[in-house]
Structure 1
């Protein structure tokens, strides 16, 4: 009799705990659906080159590349805390340098201009014969067509009283930038604003299977 009573009590406790756990999971799922945060929108508002030339038999790239990027938080009740921002510069799908940008906090319905990314120095680079031909054509015209900037961001988000832990957001990709080369203090063309790709900004990339 005692054993049966013990088993009944255990089953009753197990059912209660399982129900509470299930309710907790469902509440988190519903909470996230209700929030359904829209991704932060990034765009490159200006970019320029004052130096971009190959030396040492086309194996060393000398550069001074400046980029201005804005971030738009479209959410009504979401605050985003940017705790780490690393900007990577690419040419012909080859990463040649990275710089750290200043962290900041962004309120809801807010557009923020990030610290200007200044890439300056020299790096080794390996371009194929076709890419070198493209580089020479672009340099003769004064516009480089295949530059890109990616942002590697660590953030924390706040919705009402709910605070997330820090996580690594999906990469923000600003690709296929047509950047004018400044010659004699003047660019040969104007830079056209370019939108960046950030469709899953609030998804932790480290949770991907």
Structure 2
């Protein structure tokens, strides 16, 4: 019987470690942190700051979301998009939840439209005026707050911590009469868990 003690100890240890090992393997397979986000196009059709600091805006943003996971479906349960100009938040919108299949690319579009009061510092106000004359605005950012789950072989994972995606700096042209004088450059985003 004493010769079996090491084997019994190993079996008990293995049984205790199996749930941890299982979760680790599932996490490696379904890890959503390798999803890539890009802003492929952005443009304004309106971006006017009035003398009472009210910003009227219409910003269209095309995003590409690339999931290289070969065995995982990613379910975006909640998507909140936010826009900033020179560190001043000016727009928020909720996007429709969606599922992203195995090894898939999805192309969500975001439209920020409305008006909001923002407070630009004197230097920023001077930059805004220069950018208005050039018809291209610098120092913009778009962020996505995401709540996601993953599914592998039909089994839902637990809810992941909320993911945050930050796309900056963006240089966004103003489209007037259907034309723009500046092209938009694709911007890679950074994602991390909060």
Q: TM-score range by the shorter chain?
A: 0.7 to 0.9
- Residue 154 of structure 1 and its aligned partner are, at CA, apart by 1.1
Q: TM-score, normalised by structure 2?
A: 0.86
Q: Is 2:124 the partner of 1:97? A: no
User: What is the CA RMSD across the aligned residues, in angstroms?
Assistant: 2.2
- Residue 111 of structure 1 and its aligned partner are, at CA, apart by 0.4
Indicate the residue corresponding to 1:136 in structure 2.
Answer: 129
Flag structure 2 segments of 5+ consecutive residues without an equivalent: 1-10
Indicate the residue corresponding to 1:194 in structure 2.
Answer: 187
Residue 167 of structure 1: SS of its match in structure 2?
coil
- Residue 118 of structure 1 and its aligned partner are, at CA, apart by 0.9
Flag structure 1 segments of 5+ consecutive residues without an equivalent: 1-15
Q: 2:55 aligns with which of 61, 74, 85?
A: 61
Aligned length: 185
- Residue 81 of structure 1 and its aligned partner are, at CA, apart by 0.7
Q: How do residues 121-160 of structure 1 correspond to structure 2 at under 5 angstroms? A: 121-160=114-153
Q: 2:42 aligns with which of 47, 55, 59?
A: 47
Indicate the residue corresponding to 1:112 in structure 2.
Answer: 106
Contact 2:29 2:72 in 1 (8 A): no
Residue 127 of structure 1: SS of its match in structure 2?
coil
Larger radius of gyration: 1
- Residue 189 of structure 1 and its aligned partner are, at CA, apart by 1.2
After superposition, what is the alpha-carbon deviation per residue over 1:167-204, rounded to whole angstroms, capped at 9, x for unaligned?
Answer: 34321111111110112221121111111112x4xx4x
Indicate the residue corresponding to 2:17 in structure 1.
Answer: 22
- Residue 91 of structure 1 and its aligned partner are, at CA, apart by 0.5
2 CA distance for matches of 1:135 and 1:151?
25
- Residue 99 of structure 1 and its aligned partner are, at CA, apart by 0.4
- Residue 92 of structure 1 and its aligned partner are, at CA, apart by 0.4
Q: How do residues 69-80 of structure 1 correspond to structure 2 at under 5 angstroms? A: 69-80=63-74
Q: Is 2:79 the partner of 1:85? A: yes
